[in-house]
Structure formats: C-alpha cells, structure tokens
Amino acid sequence: MSTARLTINLHALASNWRALDAKSNVETGAVVKADAYGLGAGPVSAALAEEGVRKFFVAAAEEGLAVRQAVGPEPQIFVFSGFMDGDNGLHFADNLIPMINSPEQFKRLQQAMPDHPFGVQLDSGMNRLGLEPADWASLRSEIESLNPKAIISHLACSDEPDHPMNRRQLKTFRDMTDGVAAPRSLAATGGLLMGPEFHFDFCRPGVGLYGGMPFADAKPVVSVDLPVIQVRSVSVGETVGYGGYWVARRPSRIATVAAGYADGLHRAIGGGIDTFVGDQPCPVVGRISMDLITVDVTDLPEDPERLRILNGHQTVDDLAEAAGTIGYEILTSLGARYSRGYVE
Ligand SMILES: *Cc1c(COP(=O)(O)O)cnc(C)c1O
C-alpha cells in the first residue's frame, strides 16, 4: 500500500439508514449531496437504493446524474438548489426534481419546463433557502394545483434539540403547510432524532447515515489507513516537525506517514489525536504537514507498516473536535488523493 486508503463500509451505511428509519413511522430518504458527503455518490446511493430508499437529495442538478445512474429510473431525486438561472431541461434530464426556492425560480421553471415535476422548499426561519411566508401565501394555490412532489423546510438548530428555534420553526412550518396534499418534510438527521412531531411524511437524514453526530449511535462508516514511509529513532530533547514544537522526553521511535492537511487531516488538529494499530493507540506528534504526519510508535513491539487514523475508536467527530470544526467538514474534505475501497 503506497497511498493512503479510505475504506467505506456500505454495511455500516445501510445499518445506519435502517436504524434511523426505525426511529419513525414515516418514509426515510437519504441526502447524498457533495458526493455523498465525500464518500462516493454512486456506491453510496446504490447501496441505499438496495435498502429501499426511494427519495434522494442532492445540492445541485449536476450531482443528480451520478445518483440516477446508481439507483435506476424509479427513485425520486430532489435538487435542493432548485431551478437556477441558466438551468434548462438538460440539467434536469433523468427526471431530477428541482426544489423551488423563490418566486423567480417558480416562474423560470414554468416558462422553461411547465410539465416538469417539482418540489417546494419553504423558509421557516433559517433564512438560507426557500420561499418566504409571504411569497408562499401568494403562490400557494397555484403551486398546489400543479401537484408538487414534496414540500420541505430545514431546521437551523437541530443539533441542539432544546434550542427554542426548533419549536418556532416547527410552528411556522405547520402554519404554512397544514392542509396541503403534498408530502411534507422538515427533518434531517437532527430533526428525525427529535421525535414524531418533526417527522411529517418523510425524513431526509444525511450525516447520520455516514456515521456522524448528532446520531450518537451511528456505526462508523469510514476508516482511513495511512502507509508508513519511514521510522526513525529520536533522542531525548530532539524535536519533530515544523516549528519544532514537539520535544522527545524519552528515547522515541517516530513514524512518518503519507497523508496530511491536503488530504483533509486539518493542520488545526492539535494534540490528543491518535493513530492505531488494531486497538493500540499511537499519538500524533508535531505539526501536521501538507502530505505527512508524524506519530510516536515507541510503545509498539515492532515498527508498523500502516497506521489507521479513522476507525471505531476515533471518529470523524473526534477529529472534528480536535480541529475546531464539525464531522460534516471532516467527511467532505477527505481529499481526492486517497485510494478508495468499499466494503459491500
Ligand atoms: C444537508 C441537508 C440535509 C441533511 O442534513 P444532515 O444534518 O446531514 O442530516 C437535509 N436537508 C437539507 C435542506 C440539507 O441542506
């Protein structure tokens, strides 16, 4: 193994989807935007379709084609960014369904493709995407007469179940949509975990499928193995890496592995992070470089050939915490240099 390797466990992915699906009595879709949070939209969508997922969600129409190829003609594929300026029938070939976000998008779609299926995204308080309440009020009857495929809104604070914003958005969404015939959805991973009031007709988790918080019971889906390039002995008082900020306090063995911040292992990941040989942790020491990480392997009985940095012991959220970010960003920044393997 000469390159760092990303292994995506599709059994764990499927098991996370089933576990989330079991938490509601409604349909559970899957968000596969940003190349399925960096893990590969094709294999991920195919595995989820096999589990029974019938509603997929991407951010931009361009992302939908790979999903369509993976899931076949039947499942619905919704596009969160809707029908953008410059979009046309080509972008929405393969029956991709735009989520209309503004009166302009609605008008544009009606002019370009009056018979094309669409959904609606409403703004219930996040102020990011979606029709404002006033725009919705004036378009509602026209839109309803055209049979939208879904009406959704998105929670801003669902990673904090007790945040008052959640109930405010719930009420706004209800006030805006009670009585519509179209299937409604408010919940991503966080909303799904907050209970039935938030479930409406279907839920649409993303990050929980991929092993990330706020789904605390998720199985880890990704592991990352780093090949060791070189191992050296370091004497007491010698330093390791840029800035010389790690100093050996005992005679040490230092392994240098082939991955770094250009591979999504952020430079900001400070101390407290380990790599592993099986269950045995070996601490990362010194600064993370662009392509290299240094690891204290003194306590191993023999020099390792590879070290694992993401596994069941140390999750994307552990790395995220060490880097001052969120698991979503760790997942989506696991770079293009890894060789990828799928456990099917
Ligand atoms: C990303 C996204 C989701 C999925 O969110 P997770 O927190 O990853 O479950 C659902 N709905 C919308 C509109 C999104 O942008």
Task: Please determine, for residue 331, whether its predicted confidence score (pLDDT) is greater than 90.
Answer: yes
Mean pLDDT across 239-250: 96
Check: CATH 3.20.20.10 for 10-210? yes
Mean pLDDT of 169-183: 98
Give residue-wise pLDDT tens across range 107-122.
999 999 999 999 999 9
Annotated binding-site members for substrate: 128, 290
Question: What CATH architecture is 222-343?
Answer: Beta Barrel (2.40)
pLDDT tens for 217-239 read 999 999 999 999 999 999 999 99
Q: Is the CB of 188 under 6 A from ligand 1?
A: yes
Give counts: helices (H), strands (E), the chain. Answer: 10, 19
Give the rounded percent of residues in the chain with a pLDDT score beyond 70.
100
From CA 80, how far away is CA 56, in angstroms rounded? Answer: 10
- Closest atom of ligand 1 to 205 CA is 9
- Mean pLDDT throughout 131-139? 97
Radius of gyration of the chain (CA): 23
Q: Is 245 a catalytic residue?
A: no
- Determine the atom of ligand 1 nearest the C-alpha atom of 154: 13
Question: What's the token pair of residue 254?
Answer: 């230092």
Domain range annotation of the chain: 10-210, 222-343
pLDDT tens digits for range 88-110:
888 898 899 999 999 999 999 99
**In which residue are the tokens 């991929």 written?**
210
272: pLDDT strictly greater than 90: no
**328 carries an active-site annotation:** no
- Among the listed residues 107, 171, 219, 242, the single catalytic one is 242
Helix axes 133-145, 103-112, angle to 10 degrees: 30
The predicted structure's pLDDT at residue 1: 57
